Structure 1
């Protein structure tokens, strides 16, 4: 089922929803390799830094309710990587399977292309089949798996890198 949602640039008023969605991923999944939830202050600073650097942060909303967010930023700090970016995409756990991830990823791809990004990169937990499938659907290819690159909740985690040449 695909829902018609609104995608727009994130604003400071969206920070509480962004924090809640991100912390769902931190506490309940291996999508983020940390066990420490973020704060409103942390995400406010993150949003300001992304925007000041010219990188987008989008929210996807059903009506007035923010159901997900996504962004991209530098892949690495060295000049040779200036045309590569790494993105993130998070959907509220109660909104999975409704096509919101597809809509948001499409917007991220369009924005990256508009900004001159040549390669968009995703770092995905190797067990996250839904995200791997979503990225394959949008033409991302496997760039390799880093075995036991992460550690969370007492277990080693494999990080699957995917990329798309824009």
Structure 2
């Protein structure tokens, strides 16, 4: 398995993994699958400053992680928000840790200073992995999401690079 920077050829695979999460999990608060055009636009917004990495094994993209622009206000330019998604059937095998390690290292090389992560409360495995990498819980936003008929809290975590 290889962890590497994502390229344009990876976008359809990133989209497949993301849209599966949209439809079946609360890992994202999107409720409508994205189109390929929307995912391409998302990818183009990253550039060198906000890395996107993928885990690939035998030509199959198993997961991806991204340091996303936190805000379009310039004072936030060195702050990113993390995204991390693993293909269904490949979760719980340590891929999340490898991708998190890689995206944080790439983000630091790109000049990022702090990374934020919003995690739905109750996702203990994601919170645990973040803690292993030095993220601190900085707050809980109560009932900010509504998905699958439930109001959901979000834990905000932060790491200085």
TM over 0.5: yes
Shorter-normalised TM-score: what interval?
Answer: over 0.9
Q: Give the TM-score normalised by the residue count of structure 2.
A: 0.93
Aligned-residue Cα RMSD (Å) equals 1.3
Structure 1 residues not aligned, in runs of 5+: none
Q: Give me the TM-score of the superposition, normalised by structure 1.
A: 0.91
CA distance in 1, matches of 2:16, 2:126: 19
1:27 matches 2:46: no
**Deviation, structure 1 residue 108:** 0.9
CA offset digits 1:103-123 (Å, max 9, x no partner): 100011111111221111101
Aligned to 1:91: 86
Q: Distance in 1 between the 2:58 and 2:68 partners?
A: 27
Q: Are 1:6 and 1:63, in contact at CA under 8 Å, matched by a contact in 2?
A: no
Q: In the TM superposition, what is the alpha-carbon distance from 1:79 to its structure 2 partner?
A: 2.9
Instruction: Report if the CA contact (8 A) 2:50-2:80 is conserved.
Output: no
* Aligned length, in residue pairs: 161
The CA deviation string for residues 14-50 of structure 1, in whole angstroms up to 9 with x for no partner, is 1221111001111111011121011112111211222
User: In the alignment, what sits opposite 1:101?
Assistant: 96
* Corresponding residue for residue 69 of structure 1: 64
Unaligned runs of 5+ in 2: none
